[in-house]
Amino acid sequence: MSELGLCSRREADEWIAKGWVRVDGKVVSELGTKVTPSQKVTVERQAAAEQARRVTILINKPVGYVSGQAEDGYQPAVVLIKPENRWEEDRSPERFDRNHLRSLVPAGRLDIDSVGLLVLTQDGRVAKQLIGENTNVDKEYLVRVEYTKPGRLPDSELQKLNHGLWMDGKPLLPAKVRWQNDDQLSFTLREGKKRQIRRMCEMVGLRVVGLKRVRIGRVKLGNLPEGQWRYLSPDERF
């Protein structure tokens, strides 16, 4: 079901437990049931209706908030999602409901010292698209840096940031890295190892002094103010 793009694996488990999944017309109630490619998997309308009610929220995360669970005394970004922090220019017709905070998980993380676009979703399909093993959704960051050596970063080192660096014993996927202005780089990545950009910069003698995620796929941070949030609109796709 997950491979067919019907739902996430977690949602599939929930739907099977509720009797909403059929194989060749027969209800499947046992998790892990084997299905052959020739068999037809269908789901009840209740599943689609429940999935349609699940929301995805975009927030401009400030420094000092963690993406997921609270840790080391720092609050999670989800605490900012309350009516008074909703962006007044949000064009989504969705009305805020406390149920929108249930099972809301980050689809990709930003470390505590970084700001910018953070996606929180109840929809397993969105989470899989953004952080699944085979994701091809790129993410763009603006990174303010200082060169820790005399002079300016050589072009050869900039090329290494684009392709050629290794991390955790494996080569990094090709990236798109270019100068945005004299002290700011634009990074576009299709992977997200822990503190990857900061570690990449350290490898070529750069120190990161500011990092902001400005785009995930086709969805941009835009003018969303820091600390405020909005719903992903029905017509938006990553």
Active site amino acids: 111
Q: Are 177 and 161 in contact (CB under 8 A)?
A: yes
Q: Are 7 and 125 in contact (CB under 8 A)?
A: yes
CB atoms within 10 A of CB 6: 19
As a residue count, the chain comes to: 238
| Strands, E assignment, the chain | 21-23, 26-27, 41-43, 56-61, 105-106, 115-121, 139-147, 166-167, 170-171, 176-181, 184-189, 206-216, 219-220, 229-231
Q: Are 204 and 190 in contact (CB under 8 A)?
A: no
Q: Rounded distance, CA 75 to CA 134, Å?
A: 30
Q: Rounded distance, CA 19 to CA 27, Å?
A: 6
Angle of the 196-203 helix axis to the 155-162 helix axis, nearest 10: 150
CA 56, 112, 69, 97: dihedral to nearest 10 degrees? -30
